[in-house]
């Protein structure tokens, strides 16, 4: 288990990889508004946890475990965001800000229950596959496209 701070670094790295095709310390520092030494410390902590591969001044590569955890972090944000925006009718900016904060404090058990509730209320899908944020179930079902809207 890694800290919520390290989760944010991991998520940022995953997004950079998807967006740019590579992950650079400078880009991470700019996005997260922090120093390069802070990024380097996070990189080595994530490496020690088996979530990425990195050699000094080399490329930063997420391991399969790192990529899976980053996807889970983003999925958690999506579920909380949809609940705040669509169920509680918060405006987009407030929902984004609040989802980011709530995601850092919510447990897997709570997010799984929230996901089932959101999908039932918004009629995305039946979730008969027993949705679990840790198992990536439902990621290819129709509700996935709804979450991104």
| pLDDT tens per residue, range 47-83 | 999 999 998 888 899 999 999 999 988 888 888 988 8
Report the C-alpha gap between 45 and 141 in whole angstroms: 34
Are 25 and 81 contained in the same domain? no
| pLDDT digits 0-9 by tens, 4-28 | 889 999 999 999 999 999 999 999 9
- Please, are residues 23 and 12 in contact by the beta-carbon 8 Å criterion? no
Domain extent, residue 102, equals: 71-147
Query: How many Å separate Cα 126 from the centre of its chain?
Result: 23
Kind and range of the H or E run holding 28: helix 25-32
Say if residue 132's pLDDT is above 80: no
* Token pair 């095709």 in the structure block, residue: 21
Mean pLDDT, all residues of the chain: 83
Which residue, 14, 44, 62, sits at the end of a domain? 62
Report the C-alpha gap between 120 and 127 in whole angstroms: 8
Which of these, 133, 134, 116, 136, lies nearest to 125 by C-alpha position? 116
Are 11 and 57 contained in the same domain? yes
Are 20 and 52 contained in the same domain? yes
Are 52 and 110 contained in the same domain? no
User: Strand locations in the chain, DSSP E?
Assistant: 52-54, 60-62
Report the C-alpha gap between 16 and 142 in whole angstroms: 26
Are 143 and 76 contained in the same domain? yes
Are 49 and 75 contained in the same domain? no
Are 75 and 140 contained in the same domain? yes
Are 75 and 125 contained in the same domain? yes
Segment 31-40 mean pLDDT: 95
Q: What CATH number did the domain enclosing 58 receive?
A: 1.10.10.10
User: If pLDDT is split at 50, 70 and 90, which confidence band does 120 have?
Assistant: confident
Are 78 and 30 contained in the same domain? no
Query: Tokens standing for 67?
Result: 């990529």
Q: How many domains does the chain have?
A: 2
What is the per-residue burial (b if ≥16 Cβ within 10 Å, else e) of 50-61? ebbebeeeeebe
Are 57 and 79 contained in the same domain? no
Which residue, 39, 62, 85, sits at the end of a domain? 62
**pLDDT more than 70, % of the chain:** 82
């Amino acid at each position: 288990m890694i800290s919520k701070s390290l989760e944010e670094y991991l998520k940022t790295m995953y997004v950079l990889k998807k967006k740019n095709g590579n992950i650079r310390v400078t880009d991470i520092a700019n996005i997260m508004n922090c120093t390069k030494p802070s990024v380097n410390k996070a990189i080595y902590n994530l490496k020690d946890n088996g979530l990425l591969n990195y050699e000094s001044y080399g490329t930063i590569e997420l391991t399969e475990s790192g990529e899976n955890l980053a996807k889970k972090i983003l999925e958690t944000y999506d579920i909380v965001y949809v609940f705040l925006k669509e169920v509680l009718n918060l405006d987009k900016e407030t929902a984004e800000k609040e989802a980011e904060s709530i995601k850092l404090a919510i447990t897997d058990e709570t997010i799984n229950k929230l996901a089932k509730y959101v999908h039932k209320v918004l009629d995305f899908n039946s979730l008969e596959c027993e949705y679990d944020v840790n198992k990536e179930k439902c990621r290819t079902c129709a509700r996935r496209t709804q979450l991104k809207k």
